[in-house]
C-alpha cells in the first residue's frame, strides 16, 4: 500500500468542462474566468474576485495594488512557503518577520505589534495548514496603526473564523489552486476584495496595465488565468465543501485513534474557527525517525516547513539574521501526514496504526 501526502481529485465533470473549452476555441482568459470569479466571490462573501495565474502572482499583484514599494516594510510570518515573503521582495519592499503562536503555528499578533515601525505599510497573515489566524486581534492592530491587511489564504479555502469565511477579512486575500490545495485548477490563484478601486487596479495589473485592449495605463503583468483552468475551478468549487468535510472527518479519525500518545502532539484547533486541514500536522521530537518509519511502510509525509524563510540561502545573503523562538522550535518538530479528501477510512486507520506501532517500539 502506498498513501500519498496529497492527491487532487479530478472527476468526469472537470474533464467534460475542459473538453467544452477546448472545442470552443476560446482557451485564454475569457467568459469561463469571469464565471469562476463570480462564483468564487459569492462563496467567500466578497464583492470582487480576480483570477490570477498562481497564488504567488495573486500575492504580488495584491501588494502592487496597495502601492507597496521600495522603502516600505511588510510584516509576515517566516513559517510559510517562501512565496509569501518573496512577493514582498518583488515589490522592492522589506519583509519583516514576526514569531508564531506555539499551538496554532499562525502568526502571533503580539509579536506583530512589536515589529511595527514608521516604515510598516501592511501585514500579510497566513492561514497555515487551513486554520484561520486570530483575525479579530490582527484587524485591531491594522486599524490602530493604519496598516493594510492581506490574507494569504492559499491553504485555507472554505475555512472560517467566527462563522465568516477567510478571504473576507482583509483589504485583500489571496488563494492558490495548486494541485496540493483543497481544490485545484492545476495552477492558478484568486484575489478577493470588497474595495472597488483596488479591484479595478488589480484587473489592470494582471492584464499588462490595461483596462481595455491596447490602452496600457500602468506597468502591468501577464498574470491572467486561462479558461481551461477556470473550467476546472468552477467544477471543483462545487465540491469544495464536500472535500473539506472529508478532510475534517479524517482529522477526527486521527484524533480518536492517536490522542493521548506520549511524545505525540496532535493539531490544536481553536474553538473560534473551522479548520479545513490542507495539512494534518503533528509535532514529534523524533520527527525524522517517525518520517523514515512511515515512508518505509508506504506512507508519504511532508515537512512544512523544515527551516524558516529567514534561514533560506536567499534571505541569508540579504542579511537576515532573525532567530524567533517558536518558529525555530516548531521547524524541528512538525510532520504532516496524509489527510486529503481522497483517503478512505481504512487508509487513515492504516496510517494511525503505523504511528501507534512506532511509539510502542
Please report, in tens digits, the pLDDT of each residue of the chain (361 residues total): 899 999 999 999 999 999 999 999 999 999 999 999 999 999 999 999 999 999 999 999 999 999 999 999 999 999 999 999 999 999 999 999 999 999 999 999 999 999 999 999 999 999 999 999 999 999 999 999 999 999 999 999 999 999 999 999 999 999 999 999 999 999 999 999 999 999 999 999 999 999 989 999 999 999 999 999 999 999 999 999 999 999 999 999 999 999 999 999 999 999 999 999 999 999 999 999 999 999 999 999 999 999 999 999 999 999 999 999 999 999 999 999 999 999 999 999 999 999 999 999 8
Provide the 3-class DSSP secondary structure of residue 121.
strand
pTM exceeds 0.95: yes
Q: Is 321 helix (H, G, I), strand (E, B) or coil?
A: coil
Distance, in Å, from the CA atom of 10 to the CA atom of 260, rounded to the nearest integer, reads 36
Q: Report d(CA 277, CA 122) in Å as an integer.
A: 27
To the nearest 10°, report the CA torsion of 269, 273, 278, 280: 10
Beta bridge partners of 124: 150
Q: For the domain bounded by 12-235, which CATH number is listed?
A: 3.40.640.10
At the topology level, CATH places domain 240-360 in 3.90.1150
How does pLDDT run across 79-101, given as a tens digit for each residue?
999 999 999 999 999 999 999 99
All CATH 3.90.1150.10 domain ranges in the chain, comma separated: 240-360
Residue where the block lists cell 523544515: 306
- In terms of Cβ atoms closer than 10 Å to its own Cβ (0-12, 13-18, 19+), residue 17 is buried
* pLDDT tens-place string over residues 23-78: 999 999 999 999 999 999 999 999 999 999 999 999 999 999 999 999 999 999 99
Round to whole Å and give the CA distance between 177 and 54: 7
Q: What letters, b where the CB count within 10 A reaches 16 and e where it falls short, cover 315-352?
A: beeeebebebebbbebbeebbbbbbbbebeeebbebbb
Residues of the chain with CATH 3.40.640.10: 12-235
Q: Which residues of 73-111 are buried (b: 16+ CB within 10 A; e: fewer)?
A: bbbbbbbbbebbbbbbbbbebbbbbbbbbeebbbbbbeb
Amino acid at each position: 500500500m502506498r498513501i500519498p501526502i496529497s492527491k487532487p481529485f479530478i472527476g468526469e465533470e472537470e474533464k467534460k468542462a475542459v473538453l467544452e473549452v477546448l472545442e470552443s476555441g476560446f482557451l485564454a482568459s475569457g467568459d469561463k474566468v469571469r464565471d469562476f470569479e463570480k462564483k468564487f466571490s459569492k462563496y467567500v462573501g466578497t464583492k470582487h474576485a480576480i483570477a490570477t495565474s498562481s497564488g504567488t502572482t495573486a500575492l504580488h499583484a495584491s501588494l502592487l495594488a496597495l502601492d507597496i514599494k521600495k522603502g516600505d516594510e511588510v510584516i509576515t510570518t517566516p513559517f510559510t512557503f517562501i512565496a509569501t515573503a518573496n512577493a514582498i521582495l518583488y515589490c522592492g519592499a522589506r519583509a519583516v518577520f514576526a514569531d508564531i503562536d506555539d499551538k496554532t503555528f499562525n502568526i502571533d499578533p503580539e509579536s506583530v505589534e512589536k515589529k511595527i515601525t514608521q516604515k510598516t505599510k501592511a501585514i500579510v497573515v497566513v492561514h497555515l495548514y487551513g486554520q484561520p489566524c486570530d483575525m479579530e486581534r490582527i484587524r485591531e492592530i491594522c486599524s490602530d496603526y493604519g496598516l493594510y491587511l492581506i490574507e494569504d489564504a492559499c491553504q485555507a479555502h472554505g475555512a472560517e473564523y467566527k462563522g465568516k469565511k477567510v478571504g473576507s477579512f482583509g483589504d485583500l486575500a489571496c488563494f492558490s489552486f495548486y494541485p496540493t490545495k483543497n481544490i485545484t485548477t492545476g495552477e492558478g490563484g484568486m484575489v478577493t476584495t470588497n474595495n472597488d478601486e483596488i479591484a479595478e487596479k488589480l484587473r489592470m495589473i494582471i492584464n499588462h496595465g490595461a483596462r481595455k485592449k491596447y490602452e496600457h495605463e500602468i506597468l502591468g503583468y501577464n498574470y491572467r488565468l486561462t479558461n481551461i483552468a477556470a473550467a476546472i475551478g468552477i467544477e471543483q468549487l462545487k465540491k469544495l465543501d464536500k472535500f473539506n468535510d472529508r478532510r475534517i472527518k479524517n482529522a477526527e479519525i486521527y484524533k480518536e485513534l492517536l490522542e493521548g500518545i506520549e511524545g505525540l502532539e496532535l493539531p490544536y484547533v481553536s474553538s473560534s474557527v473551522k479548520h479545513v486541514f490542507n495539512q494534518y500536522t503533528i509535532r514529534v521530537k523524533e520527527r525524522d525517525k517517525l518520517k523514515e518509519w512511515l515512508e518505509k511502510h508506504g506512507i508519504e509525509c511532508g515537512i512544512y516547513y523544515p527551516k524558516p524563510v529567514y534561514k533560506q540561502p536567499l534571505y541569508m545573503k540579504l542579511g537576515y539574521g532573525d532567530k524567533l523562538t517558536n518558529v525555530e522550535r516548531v521547524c524541528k518538530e512538525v510532520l504532516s501526514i496524509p489527510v486529503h479528501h481522497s483517503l478512505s477510512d481504512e487508509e487513515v486507520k492504516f496510517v494511525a496504526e503505523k504511528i501507534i506501532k512506532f511509539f510502542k517500539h
